[in-house]
Structure 1
Amino acid sequence: MTRLSLPIIEERNLLWSGALILVGAFFSLAFACAAPLAGFAAIAALTSARRNALALTAAIWFSNQLVGFTMLHYPLDFETLAWGGALGLIALICCETARFAARMSIGAGAPFAALAASFLVYEGALFAITRAVGGDVSHYALASVARIFAINAGAFFGLWALALVCAAIGAGRRVASLRV
Structure 2
Amino acid sequence: MNDRNVQREGALQWGWSAAIAVAAVAGSVVTACMMPFVAVAVMAAATLRAPQAVATVAVAWAANQLLGFALMGYPMTDYALGWGLALGAASMAALGIAIAILRRGVWDARLVLAALAGFGGFELLLYGYAHLAGGLGTFTPAIVGQLALNEGLWLAGLLAARALLHRAAPGLVPALGMGAR
Same fold per superposition (TM over 0.5):
yes
Kindly indicate which of the two structures has a greater share of residues assigned to helix.
1
Q: Which structure has the bigger radius of gyration?
A: 1
TM-score normalised over the length of structure 2: 0.83
Unaligned runs of 5+ in 2: 174-181
Q: Identify if the C-alpha distance between structure 1 residues 22 and 136 changes in structure 2 by more than 3 Å, giving closer, same or farther.
A: closer
In structure 2, the residue matched to 1:45 is 45
Please give the alpha-carbon distance, in whole angstroms, between the structure 1 residues aligned to 2:52 and 2:78. 30
Tell me how far apart the structure 2 counterparts of residues 66 and 160 of structure 1 sit (CA, whole Å): 26
TM-score relative to the length of structure 1? 0.83
Contact 1:32–1:68 (CA under 8 A) maintained in structure 2 = no
Question: Which residue does 1:120 correspond to in 2?
Answer: 120
- Equivalent residues, number: 172
- Deviation by residue 1:53-81 (Cα, 9 ceiling, x = unmatched): 11111011011111111111111111111
Percent identity between matched residues is 24
Moved more, 161-170 or 71-80: 161-170
Taking the aligned partners of 1:140 and 1:51, their CA distance within structure 2 comes to: 32
Partner of 1:19: 19
1:130-162 CA-to-partner distances (Å, cap 9, x unmatched) read 1233x2423312221111011111111111122
Aligned residue number for residue 69 of structure 2: 69
Aligned residue number for residue 178 of structure 1: none
1:94 alignment partner in structure 2: 94
The farther-off stretch of 22-31 and 113-122 is 22-31
Q: Which has the higher contact order (CA 8 A, sep 6+)?
A: 2
- 2:144 pairs with 1:145: yes
Q: CA RMSD in A?
A: 2.4
Larger CA deviation: 82-91 vs 6-15: 6-15
